Amino acid sequence: RHKFWETQPVGQFKDLGDSSLPEGPIEPPTPLSEVKQEPYNLPNLYEWITCDMETTEMCTEVYNLLSNNYVEDDDNMFRFNYSKEFLHWALRPPGHYKSWHIGVRVKSSKKLVAFITGVPARLRVRDSIVQMAEINFLCVHKKLRSKRLAPVMIKEVTRRVHLENIWQAAYTAGVVLPTPISTCQYWHRSLNPKKLIDVGFSRLGARMTMSRTIKLYKLPESTVTPGFRKMELHDVPAVTRLLRNYLLQFLVAPDLDENDVEHWLLPKEDVVDSFLVESPETHEITDFCSFYTLPSSILGHPSHSILKAAYSYYNVSTKTPLLQLMNDALIMAKHKDYDVFNALDVMQNDSFLKELKFGPGDGKLHYYLYNYRIKHVLRPSELGLVLL
């Protein structure tokens, strides 16, 4: 069934019920001297490149590959359209390795036809802190699909991760592979229902008119929580403390330090937005919410070409009820002209999705670990991790 994945150190379907298998690494690290020194072989017409994501030329080439060939919904109506600025941010966190940004070119024309990336991350799995790679942006040009190029890309990124003495990875996918540690549901909150319906992202509900629908999704002009404001650089220590403490309750979560928080959560225009609640009395930072910007191309629509989507990222409530905090996040997203606010049912998101008028989407997201076994499938609420 899975000719490639059956050969890899990942949880296998046949082992799903077997509680005699221990939690933790599936195979031990090999001595670095035994890691293959040369890249894997590609079909002869192609060559490996290491992408320098510092340069706008490279960011543009990657952007062009992804915007034409990356993830689509089940009905091929929308395609993720990560911006160049987003890619520049997502691929250069503290301690990133240029060698983990891997492209494949056609030798003759130099055209970029495939891509895969890793970035380093510390993840906590129960009580263990594990150094990992987060793998993302695996893409093969539409004209080169089903030629078994993806397994070569995955083996090559694995080799380059091993060369840095890292032996585990985390990744998400819309497809089922051996074997998910958890399966999450996408939920969507309409902010611009007229456009969403026009482009086929959503439909008029039964016994609903357009004006009744617009009224249903109306939001206040401004946020309601006293002390709600944009996160600033000087907030990094307080946000780090708040978030670290909050993430302890989940079985799998990132282990973030101040440098990580500055990179991943400090607002960056049209890339990541973060807000917090500063108590007007004590000036304590008590609550936090964030979302990232991931537009989708609308395929083949006569008048609309881009759907502007916000994706819920990390949220922490200690004083402001999470429902009210997320309603303020929706108000900010509407104010910034997003068409839809998306969220997974991870962390405590279940507690606000229905009340804030999110509806379940037709997409699921499966979470995976490479070379790390988890004894039981996790509930989405046990996951404290959001990948981009």
Q: Where do we find the tokens 């998910």?
A: 180
Spatial CB neighbours of 91, under 8 Å, sequence gap ≥ 6: 53, 101, 117, 119, 137
Among 126, 133, 170, smallest CA distance to 365 is for 170
Q: Where do we find the tokens 């979560």?
A: 253
User: What would the x/- binding string for ligand MYA be over residues 118 to 147, using CB under 6 A?
Assistant: ---------------x-xxxxxx----xxx
Among residues 172 and 182, whose Cβ is nearest to ligand JJ1? 172
Q: Which stretch binds ligand MYA (CB under 6 A): 20-28, 157-165, 205-213, 225-233?
A: 157-165
Among 168, 135, 172, smallest CA distance to 373 is for 168
Work out what residue 202 binds among ligand JJ1, ligand MYA, none; the CB cut-off runs from 5 to 8 Å by kind: ligand JJ1
Least distance (Å) between residue 215 CB and ligand MYA:
37
Work out what residue 252 binds among ligand MYA, ligand JJ1, none; the CB cut-off runs from 5 to 8 Å by kind: none
Q: Residue 40 gets which letter from DSSP?
A: P
Asked if 134 and 169 touch (Cβ cutoff 8 Å), the reply is yes
Least distance (Å) between residue 21 CB and ligand JJ1:
27
Q: Residue 6 gets which letter from DSSP?
A: G
User: Which residue ranges make up the site for ligand JJ1 (CB under 6 A)?
Assistant: 71, 73-75, 77, 136, 172-174, 186, 188, 190, 201-202, 359, 361-363, 365, 387
Tell me how many residues contact ligand MYA (CB under 6 A).
34
- Positions in 169-228 near ligand MYA (CB under 6 A): 169, 171, 173, 175, 177
Rounded-to-integer distance, Cα 50 and Cα 31, Å: 24
Work out what residue 283 binds among ligand JJ1, ligand MYA, none; the CB cut-off runs from 5 to 8 Å by kind: none
Q: Is 148 in the site for ligand MYA (CB under 6 A)?
A: yes
Asked if 359 and 217 touch (Cβ cutoff 8 Å), the reply is no
Catalytic amino acids?
A: 388
Among 223, 224, 196, 220, smallest CA distance to 210 is for 196
Least distance (Å) between residue 172 CB and ligand MYA:
6
Q: Is 149 in the site for ligand MYA (CB under 6 A)?
A: yes
Among residues 35 and 77, whose Cβ is nearest to ligand JJ1? 77
Rounded-to-integer distance, Cα 350 and Cα 312, Å: 12
Q: Is 14 in the site for ligand MYA (CB under 6 A)?
A: no
Query: How crowded is residue 35: how many other Cβ atoms within 10 Å of its Cβ?
Result: 16
Report the residue from 130, 370, 372, 383 that binds ligand MYA according to the rule CB under 6 A. Answer: 370
Asked if 331 and 367 touch (Cβ cutoff 8 Å), the reply is no
Q: Is 158 in the site for ligand MYA (CB under 6 A)?
A: yes
Pairing relationship of beta strands 182-190 and 78-80 according to DSSP bridges: unpaired
Q: For binding to ligand MYA (CB under 6 A), which residues are involved? A: 2-5, 69-71, 133, 135-140, 145-151, 154, 157-158, 161, 167-169, 171, 173, 175, 177, 370-371
